Amino acid sequence: VGATCVLTGTYTVTAADVAAGEIRNTAVATSPVCPVGSVDPACTTTVVTPVTELSQSLVKALTNNADGDASGTVSLGDVLTYTVTVTNTSTSGSLTNVVVSDPMITPSTITCPTVAVGATCVLTGTYTVTAADVTAGSISNTAVATSPVCPVGSTDPECTTTVVTPVTELSQ
């Protein structure tokens, strides 16, 4: 008399739950008061939990030019610093296994095991301007992020971004 029976468990949110926008979890108790199949509110209850899609933003910027020749422009031999930032813009839910990569810079990748809501995963690396960049007149530098939002190969703007940096040929 007066005792309580508690069931505690875990559930992994599925793609179908995200598509539905909610999880409907129904618990049913059976006892001498609640026979199998009873629809009495004292014997069954449903909890509806909203599920929101995960989202992120991806921003890449040229954040520094070591400007080895002090020309005030991007030119041959300058060491450029690029910063690539993934921000978890979801209203709820962490991003997991976020990988930010940019094959032109060193280091070229970072993996963030978990990125909480509002938090960031940041890759910062350097690139040295080459003669080929001077000939081309610019550097086209693309960064990619993979995460639960961005599968490998996605071309969505929240998954890939390119920064074009003009390069100046200095006269001798």
In this predicted model, what pLDDT tens digit does every residue of 69-121 receive, in sequence order? 999 999 999 999 999 999 999 987 899 999 999 999 999 999 999 999 999 99
In 3D, which of 152, 136, 12 has the Cα closest to residue 74? Answer: 136
Q: What is the pLDDT of residue 171?
A: 65
Q: How confident is the model at residue 1 (pLDDT cuts 50, 70, 90)?
A: confident
DSSP letter at 106 equals B
pLDDT at 39 over 80: yes
Q: How confident is the model at residue 56 (pLDDT cuts 50, 70, 90)?
A: very high
Q: How confident is the model at residue 157 (pLDDT cuts 50, 70, 90)?
A: very high
Distance CA 65, CA 127 (A): 10
Q: What is the pLDDT of residue 115?
A: 96
- Residue 34 is encoded by which pair of tokens? 């609640």
pTM exceeding the 0.85 threshold for the entire prediction? no
Average model confidence (pLDDT) across the chain: 91
What does residue 157 show for φ and ψ, rounded to 5 degrees? -60, -25
Q: What is the pLDDT of residue 160?
A: 96
Q: What is the pLDDT of residue 172?
A: 56
In 3D, which of 81, 125, 85 has the Cα closest to residue 103? Answer: 125
Q: What is the pLDDT of residue 26?
A: 87
